[in-house]
Amino acid sequence: MAVKYFIALLSYKLRKAFAKLALDRLIKDVWVKLVKAAVLKHYFEKFRQTEFHGMAFNIPFKAEEYIEYKYGKDWRVPNKG
């Protein structure tokens, strides 16, 4: 009976350890994505309105400059990858 308890306990501890590793990895991946998503705040201090499909939207005042910052100088060229 003690062996069954030990095996059950061991498997629980292994499951818990694997779950912790997976959670740590997930948190790290999410943090990396959040850090990569960070942008300079001056892009979002001033806005202008633009109309799209009959609705008005606020966009960064220097929208094209922001897009170039985010995606690079060739952002207008389709990426075939």
Supply the pTM of this predicted model.
0.47
Kindly report, residue by residue over 7-64, the tens digit of the pLDDT. Answer: 566 677 777 777 787 777 777 777 666 666 667 788 888 999 999 999 999 998 999 9
Alpha-carbon gap, residue 44 to 70, rounded angstroms: 13
Q: Does one domain contain both 44 and 80?
A: yes
Q: What is the dihedral of CA 18, 20, 22, 28, to 10 degrees?
A: -150
By mean pLDDT, which of 1-5, 61-65, 70-74 is the weakest?
1-5
Same domain, 10 and 45: no
**pLDDT score of 25:** 78
Q: Are residues 74 and 49 in the same domain?
A: yes
User: How many distinct structural domains can be found in the chain?
Assistant: 2
At residue 38, the 3 state secondary structure works out as: coil
